[in-house]
Amino acid sequence: MRKHIAVIIALVMAFSLCGCGSSKSLFPENTGNKQQTKTADSGSIKVGYLLSSDGDAPDTVARVQGIRKMQEETGIADDQIIIAESVKKADCEKKAAELVEKGCDIIFAENPNLESILEEAAKKYPDVQFCQEGGKLAKKSGLSNFHNYDTRIYEAYHVAGLVAGVKLNHLLDKGDISASECVIGFVAYDKTAKTTSCINAFYLGVERVCSQSSILVRYVGKRGVYDADGRAARQLIAAGVKMMAQYTYTTAVATVCAENDTPLIGNDVNLISTAPKDALTSVTSDWSKYYTYAVNKVLNGKEIAADWTAGYAEDAVVISQLNDEHVTDGTAAKAAELEKNLRAGNAKVFNTEKFTIDGSSLDTLATSNTNFKKYKKYIKNGNLQESMTQSKSIFDTFIDGITESTQDYLAEQSADSAESTTQSN
C-alpha cells in the first residue's frame, strides 16, 4: 500500500532531484518539459528544501507538488532545486550546511521539531534565507533571514468534518449505526496546538450536520512511523469507531481503514488509491503559495515577512477530490458552499456560540478563568481568530465532545477472544 504514493509522485512530478546525499531520486532524470525554461528574472538563484520523509510519504508528495507549482510560477528550472529528504535531527545541521555549500539562496524546512537547528543555521549563514514551516521562533529571534510560515489547514479540516458528518447521517438513516455509535476516531501524530486546533475544527464541521457525533482521539507520539500510525488506527477500530480521520505522515491509517471497511478523511494528499472504497476526501495545503511568495521576494531583493499564514481566502488550503462513488449525495454542494463562505470570510470555524469547554463557553472562560485568558485577545465578533495574524496555532484545548483515548483496546479484544475460545472448548 505504501507504494501507491510513490506512483502518485511518478505521475505528478517530472523534474530532477539534486542529491544532497539523498539515497534516490524523487523524480525522473529528464522530462523534456519545455515550460521550465529559465527566465531572466529567475537568474541563477538556487532553492533548497529539507524534507523529513522520503519520496513514498504523503507529506513529501504534498511539498513536492508545491515545489512543482512554484517552478511554473517563477521559471525556476530543475537544476536550481536541491532537495534533501529523510532529514532527521541528528543530520539536520549537516544537511542545511550542504545546501548552503551547493549555493542555495533560500532554504525551506518542513519539520518544526528541527526549528532550533534552522535558527542556528540562519545565524551562521546571514546571506541565506531560512524558512521554517510550522515554526514559532522567527519573530523573537530578530533575524532578518529567518522566517516562519504555515497554512490555516484547520479550515480545510472544518470542511472535511462536514463531509464526514453528511456520511454519518447517511449511515444513521440507513440504520447501519445507532446514535450511540456515532463516533469518529482521529489519529494524530502528536499532541500539539496545531493538531488540537485541527481536531476541534473538524468536529465543529461534523456538528454542522450531525449533532449526535463525538470524537475519540489517539495520539501516536511519533512522526512518520508507519507501523505506529497503523496500530493507533487499529486501536480506535477496536474501540468501536465507525469512521476515521487523521493528521499523520504515512498511509498506514488509510490502509487499516481499507482493511476494515471504515470511511476515512485523510490529509496531505488524496488517499483514494490507497483506500478506494473508504477514503472520502483529504485536507490539503497548497505549499506553492508560500514557496512562490518567498522565492519571488528573493528574486526581487525584497524582505520576506517574519511570519506568514494563509487559508481559504488565499487559496492555500482545500479538500481534495471527493470520492464520488462513496460520499453521500449532496455532499459536494454542501462542501462547496462552506468553502465559498470561508473564502469570503462569511463562515466562522470557531463560533463561540457553537461549542463549550467543560460545559462553559469560551467567552466566559476567557474572562473568568486564568487558564483561558490567553484566548481573550483572539475572540472577535463571536469567533476565535485562530492563526489569522500569526502562523502559530493557539487553540490547544479540546472542546466538549472530543476525548483522548489511551486505553489498550487491542489487548482487551485479544483477551475477550481468548476467553471466548476457552469457554467454547
Listing DSSP states for 88-143 in one string gives -HHHHHHHHHHHHHTT-SEEEE--GGGHHHHHHHHHH-TTSEEEEET---HHHHT-
Rounded average pLDDT over 212-238: 97
**Residues 278, 242: one domain?**
yes
Q: Which of 72-86, 119-133, 400-414 has the lowest mean pLDDT?
A: 400-414
d(CA 124, CA 107): 14
Rounded average pLDDT over 146-165: 99
d(CA 157, CA 206): 10
**Residues 78, 96: one domain?**
yes
The parent domain of residue 295 ranges over: 3-152+287-314
**Residues 303, 337: one domain?**
no
% of the chain residues with pLDDT over 90: 85
The dihedrals phi and psi of 302, each to the nearest 5 degrees, come to -105, 160
**Could you tell me the pTM of the whole model?**
0.90
- pLDDT at residue 12 in the model: 40
Q: Who wins on pLDDT, 12 or 150?
A: 150
Q: How confident is the model at residue 31 (pLDDT cuts 50, 70, 90)?
A: very low
| Burial (0-12, 13-18, 19+ Cβ within 10 Å), 140 | exposed
Beta bridge partners of 83: 49
d(CA 237, CA 387): 32
Q: How confident is the model at residue 4 (pLDDT cuts 50, 70, 90)?
A: very low
Residue 419 lies in a domain: no
Residue 126 lies in a domain: yes
**Residues 23, 104: one domain?**
yes
**Residues 108, 216: one domain?**
no
Residue corresponding to grid cell 470524537? 215
Q: Which of 192-196, 354-358, 396-400, 419-423 has the lowest mean pLDDT?
A: 419-423
Rounded average pLDDT over 214-219: 99
Q: Who wins on pLDDT, 209 or 28?
A: 209
What average pLDDT does the structure give for the chain?
A: 90
Rounded average pLDDT over 374-388: 97
**Residues 189, 98: one domain?**
no
Q: How confident is the model at residue 32 (pLDDT cuts 50, 70, 90)?
A: very low
d(CA 266, CA 254): 7
pLDDT value at 18 more than 80: no
Q: How confident is the model at residue 41 (pLDDT cuts 50, 70, 90)?
A: low
Q: What is the 3-state secondary structure (H, E, C) of 51-79?
A: CCCCCCCHHHHHHHHHHHHHHHHHCCCHH
Residue 420 lies in a domain: no
Rounded average pLDDT over 177-206: 98
- Per DSSP bridges, beta strands 146-151 and 106-109 are unpaired
- pLDDT at residue 56 in the model: 80
Q: Which of 26-40, 76-90, 214-228, 340-354 has the lowest mean pLDDT?
A: 26-40
% of the chain residues with pLDDT over 70: 87
**58-74 and 3-12 helices cross at what angle (nearest 10)?**
10
- pLDDT at residue 29 in the model: 33
**Residues 368, 235: one domain?**
yes
Rounded average pLDDT over 401-424: 76
| Burial (0-12, 13-18, 19+ Cβ within 10 Å), 46 | buried
Q: Which of 3-7, 85-89, 231-235, 261-265 has the lowest mean pLDDT?
A: 3-7
**Residues 239, 343: one domain?**
yes
d(CA 235, CA 341): 36
- Total of domains in the chain: 2
| Burial (0-12, 13-18, 19+ Cβ within 10 Å), 178 | exposed
**Residues 239, 363: one domain?**
yes
Residue 418 lies in a domain: no
320 grid coordinates: 481534495
Residue 320 lies in a domain: no
126: CATH: 3.40.50.2300
**Residues 273, 372: one domain?**
yes
pLDDT value at 33 more than 80: no
**Residues 131, 12: one domain?**
yes
The dihedrals phi and psi of 226, each to the nearest 5 degrees, come to -55, -55
d(CA 425, CA 423): 5
User: Could you count the other beta carbons within 10 Å of the beta carbon of residue 100?
Assistant: 19
**Residues 245, 168: one domain?**
yes
Amino acid identity, position 154: Y
Instruction: Measure the CA angle with vertex 110, ends 269 and 286; round to 5°.
Output: 40
Q: How confident is the model at residue 420 (pLDDT cuts 50, 70, 90)?
A: low
Greatest CA separation found in the chain? 80
pLDDT value at 154 more than 80: yes
Q: Which of 67-71, 97-101, 321-325, 418-422 has the lowest mean pLDDT?
A: 418-422
